[in-house]
């Protein structure tokens, strides 16, 4: 897939009912020769508990170092929205997002922080990265405080 095959950008798209149906699209990185970090912050991510069907809420922070491709942001937004009616545990949602992004754009490096709001009185935070960050990369803190009524 490349930028000549974008199916969502500049078009009306209803959204997707599940992550399996969603399409992560990518565009060429015009700064592929530069080491830099791109961040997506998703403060209102939602999915469903696979046991109770009740909504779960998270603050998701995605940091990545692009290589030849960037994730197209509208496609990412629609993809993340597709979890709204998807039942999965916090760990599964967080890691699926990261792995799907890696598969779609093959970044030099990616990390994700899934800061989940309490379920059963206990927040579950999930962290994953593809490996050590590239040498010389400025890596800011993800900016989400430990749970004390996050917000």
**49, 92, 100, 125: which is the annotated catalytic residue?**
49
**33, 56, 63, 125: which is the annotated catalytic residue?**
56
Cα(111)–Cα(95) distance, rounded to whole angstroms?
Answer: 10
Cα(44)–Cα(115) distance, rounded to whole angstroms?
Answer: 11
Annotated active-site residue 49? The verdict is: yes
Alpha helices in 72-140 (DSSP H): 73-81, 90-105
3-state SS assignment for residue 137: coil
**CA of residue 127 relative to chain centroid, distance:** 12
Catalytic residue annotation: 49, 56
């Amino acid at each position: 897939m490349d930028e000549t095959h974008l199916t969502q950008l500049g078009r009306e798209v209803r959204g997707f009912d599940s992550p399996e149906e969603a399409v992560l699209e990518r565009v060429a990185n015009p700064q592929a020769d530069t080491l830099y970090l791109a961040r997506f912050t998703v403060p209102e991510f939602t999915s469903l508990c696979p046991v109770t069907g009740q909504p779960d809420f998270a603050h998701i922070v995605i940091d990545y170092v692009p290589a030849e491709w960037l994730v197209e942001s509208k496609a990412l937004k629609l993809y993340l929205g597709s979890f709204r009616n998807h039942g999965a545990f916090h760990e599964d949602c967080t890691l699926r997002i990261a792995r799907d992004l890696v598969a779609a754009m093959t970044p030099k490096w990616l990390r994700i922080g899934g800061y989940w709001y309490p379920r059963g009185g206990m927040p579950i935070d999930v962290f994953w990265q593809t490996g050590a960050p590239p040498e010389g990369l400025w890596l800011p803190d993800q900016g989400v405080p430990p749970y004390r009524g996050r917000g």
